[in-house]
Structure 1
Amino acid sequence: MASVRGGTFVRRAVARDAKRLTRLVRGSRAYEGQYAAMVSGYRVGPDYIENHQVFVAVDADDVSGRVLGFYALVLVPPELDLLFVQDGTQGRGIGRLLVDHMKTQARAAGLDRVRVVSHPPAEGFYRSVGALPTGTAPASPPAVAWARPELEFLIPQLPT
């Protein structure tokens, strides 16, 4: 299933996207300074893409298919494991498009909720797209030396 908004198209990620997604994670300005350790060695591998619901937002007008953002939905237990939007394209609705797409995928999988352990600076974004706070995930050093907001998306099933 694909979604389109403006000039942005969402498609299922494939193994050849792995390096692009890894670069997007490692290069994110949201993970500079104190947060750098969390993503310095992070890798989105082809096996991860094959084993989870990973979708990318691409620029439909760019012949190279430039990745503008992506998310990963883990079905068991239900969790939005990753959501990144390319620096310089934030604020254009790409994150909202990805969350809307994720909710559709979660609904199709029969999920009634999806957990999110948020990067602290991203908590406001998740709340703005409907995630509800549920608590705090404790630090897990050495990579994550800070507590993180825990939220969830409620996924109402559509009437049949």
Structure 2
Amino acid sequence: MHSSVAAARGGILIRRAVARDAKRLTRLVRGSRAYEGHYAAMVADYRVGPDYIENHRVFVAVDTRDATGRVLGFYSLMLVPSELDLLFVQDGMQGNGIGRLLVEHMRSEARAAGLDHVRVVAHPPAEGFYLSVGALPTGTALANPPAVAWDRPELEFLIP
């Protein structure tokens, strides 16, 4: 699965994000239930802009059975430094293997780019997910107020 080729499985297509996806991805981030309560401030003004999409490896999972191509989730892979910057799955769609599919795709992209590992600074409620898909704990990213008011687990995916 190279970046120019879309990958499909079970009615889900993973394709490279394009500028016109920006508003949908921004809504997905800002509306995520994972960021309710005291986490809400972190994403309240977050924006996935067209410039971000053009400058990073951003991939979206879309529902091929939906005529509108509904976005089910997305991720962003940074190459320098190698880091999974964003990974979100639409509320109500978690637990259906979409996040796992996105991680598999990300690992394939990282391998194609020649990376040997990908760092993840996880949102605390997502740590269990990352561990379940093979990320290894490496430490803790300390709080950085006012942007992030809490410590976050730091993990990495090894890319064989």
- Identical pairs, percent: 81
Deviations 1:79-113 (A, max 9, x none): 00000000011100000000000000000000000
Aligned: 1:85 with 2:85 = no
State the secondary structure of the residue aligned to 1:106. Answer: helix
TM-score by length of structure 1 reads: 0.97
State the secondary structure of the residue aligned to 1:89. Answer: coil
Counterpart amino acid of residue 6 in structure 1: G
Q: Of 80, 100, 106, which aligns to 1:102?
A: 106
Q: 1:146 — aligned with what? A: 150
Deviations 1:18-70 (A, max 9, x none): 00000000000000001001100000000000000000000001010000000
Deviations 1:103-125 (A, max 9, x none): 00000000000000000000000
TM-score by length of structure 2 reads: 0.97
Partners of 1:107 and 1:147 in 2: CA distance: 29
Q: Of 35, 45, 53, which aligns to 2:49?
A: 45
Query: How is 1:4-153 mapped onto 2 (pairs within 5 angstroms)?
Result: 4-153=8-157
Query: What is the CA distance between 1:3 and its match in structure 2?
Result: 1.6
Q: Which moved more, 1:1-10 or 1:126-135?
A: 1-10
Structure 1 residues not aligned, in runs of 5+: none
RMSD: 0.5
Structure 2 residues not aligned, in runs of 5+: none
Aligned residues: 156
Counterpart amino acid of residue 126 in structure 2: A
Q: Segments of 4+ in structure 1 off by > 6 A?
A: none
